[in-house]
Structure 1
């Protein structure tokens, strides 16, 4: 399963710390093994159930989010001399939606939100998965604050960047839906 995860997540190789890289990989492997979804499914299913007829796949959205976070961070570092913990940024961006794998079920061949997913949103289940693999609190913070649940608290620099990268690769599709 590790090789399959590496195939859908080549960005894992951008993490320099080998221990952290292994924990991120193990977290994704565990999530897939405890999900009704396979790595192939993640390259086919829509990235959101909130957008009708969404043709952007889960992995396309996720990888775009990671790539956007990296590009934003590069510009922030260059233009403002902002210190960025690159491993935390990349690992956090890769893990923010790992909990979604526990939110879904397949009923009559169709993807839908499970009862668990209705009650436990992915920032919370993602935190639980990441804690299981002893990921650093800075990464737990990114997972827990990347979505609307983090709006009332403080975010680290890395979390701010990942939060905005996630929403910039989600909200335009919601807007497009309402503008039609």
Structure 2
């Protein structure tokens, strides 16, 4: 796949990119997805599973769902509670939160050495820092999972954390898998 095709396939796979107002953030998200995917062994973006237990849904589906749920949650919080949410930070973080999934699992659904040895937010945070995305975005990414021992410190980080677990538990529920809620 040539570079233009890969960029276009990323843009097509993640239409929520268009909701990012800050063009630097938007370009960084596309660049990070492109750089990450080029290093992976997956044939298509849509082939990467959400995780090794939830293989019926792709990481792209999960990422899009989390992003849209985060936006809906932000709009409700703003409209009902009059609490300002930085949607560019939230959308950018949501689109990048699980980018490392392309390295965490192999084509057989097994955890790779990377997946066994690294907390899955680490790669995403390092790519966000490399692309000079703000600390607020890096914070949202690292705190989206309880595997990080850092607690969410911003409205955007709280929203991403909870909608990520909501989406994960919804998918686990329909597949009759244990919920994170019950662990």
**TM-score class normalised by the smaller sequence:** 0.7 to 0.9
Stretch moving more, 126-135 or 88-97: 126-135
Partner of 1:8: 13
Give the count of matched residue pairs: 172
Partner of 1:177: 177
Counterpart of 2:106 in 1: which secondary structure?
A: strand
Partner of 1:47: 50
Aligned 1:21-36 pairs, distance under 5 A: 21-36=26-41
Counterpart of 1:37 in 2: which secondary structure?
A: coil
Q: How many Å separate the matches in 2 of 1:15 and 1:92?
A: 11
TM-score normalised by L of structure 2: 0.86
Q: What's the CA shift for 1:173? A: 3.4
What are structure 2's unaligned runs of at least 5 residues? 1-5
Q: What's the CA shift for 1:177? A: 2.3
Partner of 1:96: 97
Superposition CA RMSD, Å: 1.8
Answer 1 or 2: higher relative contact order, Cα 8 Å, separation at least 6: 1
What are structure 1's unaligned runs of at least 5 residues? none
Give structure 1 regions of 4+ aligned residues with deviation exceeding 4 angstroms. none
Partner of 1:62: 63
Judge conservation of contact 1:102–1:125 (CA < 8 Å) in 2. Answer: no
Can you list the C-alpha shifts for 1:83-138, whole angstroms capped at 9, x where unaligned?
110100100000000122221223xxx23211111001221111112222111111
Can you list the C-alpha shifts for 1:136-172, whole angstroms capped at 9, x where unaligned?
1111001100001345524310011011111111113
Q: How many Å separate the matches in 2 of 1:31 and 1:128?
A: 12
